[in-house]
Amino acid sequence: MSLVDTTDGILMLGAYSWAFDRPIRKLYYNFIITFVSVVIALVVSGIEMMGLLAGRLNLQGGLWDIVIALNDRFSTLGYIIIGIFLLGWMISAAIYRLKRYDELDIQV
């Protein structure tokens, strides 16, 4: 768990330093990370709720077996979440550069 937290911290430090170089980056980055965080929170809570239902109601087969397997492997899900944040940051940076948001003239 310490390795996962450390890796996550290092990745987020790099992402934050990229985002705070320019104000438009901060706005863009905060929007993307908030969106990714909400999606991940909904997926994790959905898996957890469905796992509770499967356990309480003894549901089995198809989707329920997948949900039970995911609930048994939440540590693996943590690695996937780190990967999703890293991928989100990389895609965000690529789109940011392709759209040339640094070149926008912003009036303050």
Domains: count for the chain: 1
Question: Is the residue at 108 inside a domain?
Answer: no
Q: Establish if 105 belongs to a structural domain.
A: no
Closest CA to 101 of 6, 4, 2, 18: 18
Instruction: Look at residue 76 and tell me if it is in a domain.
Output: yes
85 in a structural domain: yes
Please tell me whether residue 103 adopts helix, strand or coil conformation: helix
* Domain ranges, residue 33: 2-100
pLDDT of residue 10 exceeding 70 = yes
Greater confidence (49 vs 74) lies with 49
Cβ atoms within 10 Å, residue 93: 17
Task: Read off the pLDDT of residues 79-100 as tens digits, 9 standing for 90 and up.
Answer: 888 788 888 778 877 887 887 7
pTM of the model: 0.65
